[in-house]
Amino acid sequence: MLEFDIKTTQNNKSYHFKSSFKSSKIHSIIGESGSGKSTFLNMLIGKTPLDEGFIKYNDRVIFDSYKNINTKIHTRNIAYVFQSLSLFENMNVSENIAYGLKDKNKLNDYIKKYKLEEIQKSSIRNLSGGQKAKCAIVRSLASDYEILLLDEAFANLDDSSKNIYKQSFINLAKTQNKCIIFISHNLKDVYDISDEVYEIENGKIDKVKNHTCDKLELLSINKNNKDNIYYVKNSFIRIDSSVIFEDNQADITFKSILDI
């Protein structure tokens, strides 16, 4: 279990994140742009300095300001797919994936498993956005980690690739006891893979609870949302699309909520 109670101040904005994330689960984090989602991940890996608090994974102390413990980033066993992907352009795809791989004999297994054979020798500069995203995700998966952080990792992926990686993350969490933290603005992706969903707002993190309300403003309306899953205030709900009006308002009653 990942437990944390951490505080920092960045650009005159205070953040205080306190919660615990279970291993073997995928925890998604949603929130408006600039709410501090990436800052939260950067605090976990040690990129953003913390004012005080602690981070623990199982019995291993990663950071504890009270005991003056602050482990170095490379010993935290936290893999991170950056929003900017941050691929090494002086290396090709294979070399990027092999960078954090302890057993180099497994390199081909990763390349085959994630269907990267065609681009394995390609320069990073020649890849499309989607190919770069795949390379960055596989590079992190190939490293030795206990916690995996994904910051908008699916942003450039097509639907079929997304489904492959979604299934991989679900399997990794369940079979290899990994703790996965997933940031996304795409609520369908969040709904598909999450065991638990959290929202960051006003510098704090809160678990999203399912509840019902009347006449709420819909925060997200996807016209092609076949499943009619919407995120309304602090809830994921499945509603009858006939209650949605053009002005992003919906008359949601108990009758129109199909499922939570």
Partner 1 sequence: MIICIPLGYFIANTKHFIKPFLESILSIPIVLPPTVLGFYLLIFFSKDSFFGSFLDSFDISLLFTFPVLVIASCIYSLPFMIQPIINAFEKVDKNLMCASYTLQANKIKTFFKVILPNIYSSIIIAMVMSFAHTMGEFGVVLMIGGSIDGVSKVASIAIYEYVEELNYTMAHIYSLIMLLISFTILLITNIIKNKNIRYA
Among 23, 70, 122, 143, binds partner 1 (CB under 8 A): 143
Q: Which of residues 6-65 bind partner 1 (CB under 8 A)?
A: 45, 47
Among 109, 117, 144, 214, binds partner 1 (CB under 8 A): 144
User: What amino acid is encoded at 44 in this protein?
Assistant: L
Q: How far is CA 234 from the centre of its chain?
A: 18
Closest alpha carbon to 3 in 60, 48, 46, 50 = 60
We find the least distance from the C-beta atom of residue 212 to partner 1, in angstroms, to be 40
Q: CA of 190: how far to CAs of 71, 89, 150, 196, 220, in Å?
A: 31, 30, 12, 9, 13
Is residue 178 part of the contact set for partner 1 (CB under 8 A)? no
> Between 90 and 109, how does the x/- string for binding to partner 1 read (CB under 8 A)?
x--------xx---------
Beta bridge partners of 60: 57
Is the torsion defined by CA of 236, 220, 28, 201 positive or negative?
negative
Is residue 139 part of the contact set for partner 1 (CB under 8 A)? yes
Q: Which is nearer to partner 1, 78 or 218 (CB)?
A: 78
Is residue 80 part of the contact set for partner 1 (CB under 8 A)? yes
Q: How many residues bind partner 1 (CB under 8 A)?
A: 26
* Angle (deg, nearest 10), helices 159-176 and 129-142: 10
> Would you tell me how many other CB atoms lie within 10 Å of the CB of residue 175?
9
Tell me which stretch binds partner 1 (CB under 8 A): 26-34, 140-148, 182-190, 212-220: 140-148
Q: CA of 102: how far to CAs of 47, 113, 131, 259, in Å?
A: 23, 17, 23, 45
Q: Which is nearer to partner 1, 84 or 202 (CB)?
A: 84
Among 14, 32, 58, 88, binds partner 1 (CB under 8 A): 88
The answer to whether 25 and 185 have CB atoms below 8 angstroms apart is no
Nearest-angstrom CA–CA distance, 106 and 41: 28
Structure tokens of 255?
A: 């009758």
Tell me which stretch binds partner 1 (CB under 8 A): 62-70, 80-88, 109-117, 181-189: 80-88
Is residue 86 part of the contact set for partner 1 (CB under 8 A)? yes
> Between 56 and 75, how does the x/- string for binding to partner 1 read (CB under 8 A)?
----------------xxxx
Q: Which is nearer to partner 1, 15 or 145 (CB)?
A: 145
Binding site for partner 1 (CB under 8 A): 45, 47, 72-80, 82, 84, 86-90, 99-100, 125, 139-140, 143-145
